[in-house]
Structure 1
Amino acid sequence: MAPEPIRVLHFADLHIGMEAHGQIDPQTGLNRRVVDFLYAFDRIVDYAIEHEADLILFCGDAFKNRDPSPTYLREFAARLRRLLEAGLPVFLLVGNHDLPGMEKRATPLDVFGEFRPLLRGGEGLIVGRREDVHRIDTRRGPLQVIGMPFPVRSRLLKDETWRNLSPEELDHQLRETLHAVLQHLLETKIDPALPTIVAGHFSIEGAAYGSERQVMIGYDVVLPPSMFRHPAIDYVALGHIHKHQALGDGAPPIVYSGSVERVDFSEEDEPKGFCWVEVRRGDARWRFVELPARRFFTLSLDLRQAADPEMTAIAEIRRQADRIREAVVRARVRIRPEQAERLREARLREELEKAGAFSVSSLHIEREESVRSRISLTEMEHLTPLDLLARYLDSRDPPPDPGRRERLLRLAEQLMREEEP
């Protein structure tokens, strides 16, 4: 009889401390966007406890920056405590946002690692700050986690000559070093009879990037997926890239769980959540579990044809109230220059707030200047009067609708024929 699979909850990129688009919540004293990220963490803890996870695997970037406030540390610790009190082992991998400015300083996650000796058996909490193999005894059996935190070149490349390398040479050197480290761990430290998961925080070739590029901390190295195609590896759990995705179609699965909440409008249409993994030696099955993340919504209004641009905009805002309500909203409005006096930005913001927007990120009004192209004398000699009329109609701002344009051209053609001798 096959052993029962070990249940692993894989998530990453909490980024507690992201405050953009939020105001202070009077009930908690926290920024409302921070509350969104903590709410996502709460849902992850609830799911893990309810579904009897055997291991919580966090793949890096707990906080927005390397020096989180005591308040953010307290909130992280409260949720971590719920997991540990439920008897669920937790593996915390260090990401680039968790790294201190100096190598010998502690990371925010090291604080929690100091409590490990106080936990039952000392194995309830592991902080992965170095490349190493960790055996974890779960209620459904043992498994191994190969921790590969965000690669720090000053730690991995001991020879100071790396400082003189070109970016391409540095990339190559880091890739080769990490590959050698992984091979060494696979050959000398793992038990080939146990399920093995690689937990990593880095970029993989072929992955689609998201908003993490805007908030990147540290030098980013890109590793080939072939580096992890090893028969001893059953699943590769990744953090660092905010877009949930699986790379390649071979074994083992190489999966970014993605961030747990939307950071900005580049993630407007991306689902957010975590991965539920069931792993046996030689086999890993996983699925993505979506979380109810804060919606981001772009409202595009083209008012160039509107007789009353402000009332037209208000009507559209009210029509789209369901999409606006509780969303971070940005509005993009196109008008003609002569319409500017009939459209008040403050009035549109007021209407968006009345529609229940969580916040109005921006309201951009684009005044489209009319541009008319001149016809050269040489070109004019080859155009008929009807061609010239068609050019004139097309240059109008706004141009007539297609049906009216065709009627005008037919009437003009009819008049021209009547005038022929």
Structure 2
Amino acid sequence: MKIVHIADTHLGYNAYRAIDKETGLNLREQDTNAAFKQAIDKIIKLKPTLVVHSGDFFDGSRPSNRTISFALKQLLRLTSANIPIVIISGNHSTPRIKGWGSIFSIFEFFEGIYPVYQAEYELINIGGIKLHCIPQCQSKDSFAIELNKLQNIDFSKPYNVLVLHAAIAGIKEFSMDSEFNELLIKEKQLSPMFDYIALGHFHRQVKMKDNAYYAGSTERFGFGEAGEKKGFLVVDLKTNKVEPHYLDIRPMVDLKPIDSAKKEPEQIMQELKIAIEETKPKDKIVRLNVINLTKDTYRELDFEAIKQLLNQAAFYMYNFQTAKSQALSLNPETFGSLDQEFKQFLQPTQIKNKNELAKLGIEYIKKAEDACV
């Protein structure tokens, strides 16, 4: 009895101003779609009993028509292969105002797709598996109420699988910094009574307990994830074996910072040249990092030469900083989503309560984006 655990596909995601030359669409949107399609290809070949998606299926609560069409096409490929899928809503895919309705409601019209998005616990039975699903809730208090419902579960066989989208309370590494409406679950609430706990929200594949795993994301959504393998998990409920399956996605490289302290511009340029050539930037996303720059040295760097060294990269950006960690340069072609830009803007500042300000700012940005769509 095998299931596939996948999460954080973030369909509709786009960043930077890199354009796919063939389609004219945002390069990162294309990469995100390609990763999901590749995952569906692999899952169909694996022929699991079902697929569980642990949240953030879409990157936003109001995806474009193009994104909806692509998503449905891939999901219908699954159901045509007699592989049902259960999808819970995550914080990215849930409207900030409940009255606006959810895009997940359209999935109810398609046999074999089971959306869970009403901000409350739902039990779904498929093929001898009981799926206990808690989607994104409107507040931490309402999430706590839904978690308490798990205390009354009948754990008699068949198999019992818990599906959640949340961070682990008290463990900073498993929190997505400054995420809007991030929900928390205590580690002790990951009950060993479940045959498997399918977690979403954290973008790295990681084992939390013998029966609890984050599947990670299917793409890299920031340089903090550069170098990480991405994919999904295959879970054998009978043997408790969990096997990772990885996707072949565009490489993302965050170059080791070059310390420019007491160095002439020529030496810095030589070190940049060596670092860029060693990384073989063709078709990769690359970030250059230089620290301890003076403004005078910065002005003397040969940016045209850097551009020529990186002209085959899919996209590149600079992260050049002074000794006081103040960003000197932001390539005008490196703008990401508004919330990403806001977080990047706050990063070098010395503002008190920076995390609280970031969360509040991102909340306003998301509300504005929802209102404009």
Class of the TM-score when normalised by the shorter of the 2 chains: 0.7 to 0.9
Equivalent of residue 265 in structure 1, options 223, 237, 242 = 223
C-alpha displacement of 1:230? 4.5
The 5 A counterparts of 1:18-417 are 18-115=13-110, 119=111, 124-129=112-117, 130-137=120-127, 142-153=128-139, 173-174=141-142, 176-184=144-152, 186-187=153-154, 192-205=156-169, 207=171, 209=173, 212-214=176-178, 216-218=179-181, 220-231=182-193, 233-248=194-209, 250=210, 253-280=211-238, 283-299=239-255, 300-302=257-259, 304-305=262-263, 308-309=266-267, 312-313=270-271, 315-317=273-275, 319-322=277-280, 324-333=281-290, 339-340=297-298, 342-353=300-311, 356-364=312-320, 366=322
Deviation digits for residues 340-365 of structure 1 (CA, Å, limit 9, x no counterpart) = 56422232123222xx2211122526
Deviation digits for residues 43-90 of structure 1 (CA, Å, limit 9, x no counterpart) = 211111111111011111111111111011111111111111111111
Q: Bigger radius of gyration, 1 or 2? A: 1
C-alpha displacement of 1:100? 2.0
Structure 1 residues 52 and 340, CA, compared in 2 at 3 Å: closer, same or farther? closer
| One-letter amino acid of the counterpart of residue 272, structure 1 | K
* Conserved? CA contact 1:21–1:328, under 8 Å: no
Structure 1 residues 317 and 239, CA, compared in 2 at 3 Å: closer, same or farther? same
C-alpha displacement of 1:105? 3.8
- Secondary structure of the residue aligned to 1:96 is coil
Aligned length: 319
In structure 1, distance between residues paired with 2:30 and 2:22: 11
* Conserved? CA contact 1:340–1:367, under 8 Å: no
* Conserved? CA contact 1:8–1:56, under 8 Å: yes
Structure 1: gaps spanning 5 or more residues: 1-5, 154-170, 369-421
TM-score by length of 1: 0.69
* Conserved? CA contact 2:167–2:174, under 8 Å: no
The percentage of counterpart residues that share the same residue type is 23
Compute the RMSD of aligned alpha carbons. 2.6
Q: Match of 1:375? A: none
In structure 2, distance between residues paired with 1:311 and 1:132: 58
Structure 1 residues 76 and 301, CA, compared in 2 at 3 Å: closer, same or farther? same
Structure 1 residues 50 and 306, CA, compared in 2 at 3 Å: closer, same or farther? same
Equivalent of residue 16 in structure 1, options 11, 18, 21 = 11
Deviation digits for residues 210-246 of structure 1 (CA, Å, limit 9, x no counterpart) = 78434x232x332112223243x10000111212211
* Conserved? CA contact 1:211–1:266, under 8 Å: no
Spell out structure 1 runs of 4+ moving beyond 6 A. none
In structure 1, distance between residues paired with 2:227 and 2:30: 21
Structure 1 residues 241 and 341, CA, compared in 2 at 3 Å: closer, same or farther? closer
Structure 1 residues 239 and 307, CA, compared in 2 at 3 Å: closer, same or farther? closer
In structure 2, distance between residues paired with 1:76 and 1:287: 25
Structure 2: gaps spanning 5 or more residues: 325-373
C-alpha displacement of 1:193? 1.7
In structure 2, distance between residues paired with 1:211 and 1:183: 25
Structure 1 residues 319 and 195, CA, compared in 2 at 3 Å: closer, same or farther? same
| One-letter amino acid of the counterpart of residue 260, structure 1 | T
Structure 1 residues 108 and 217, CA, compared in 2 at 3 Å: closer, same or farther? farther
Q: Match of 2:336? A: none
Structure 1 residues 128 and 305, CA, compared in 2 at 3 Å: closer, same or farther? same
- Secondary structure of the residue aligned to 1:332 is strand
Structure 1 residues 200 and 317, CA, compared in 2 at 3 Å: closer, same or farther? same
C-alpha displacement of 1:206? 5.3
* Conserved? CA contact 1:309–1:342, under 8 Å: no
C-alpha displacement of 1:21? 3.0
C-alpha displacement of 1:333? 3.0
| One-letter amino acid of the counterpart of residue 217, structure 1 | F
C-alpha displacement of 1:92? 1.1
In structure 2, distance between residues paired with 1:205 and 1:127: 26
In structure 1, distance between residues paired with 2:143 and 2:137: 10
Structure number with greater CO (CA < 8 Å, separation at least 6) is 2
* Conserved? CA contact 1:201–1:239, under 8 Å: yes
Structure 1 residues 221 and 314, CA, compared in 2 at 3 Å: closer, same or farther? closer
In structure 2, distance between residues paired with 1:93 and 1:30: 28
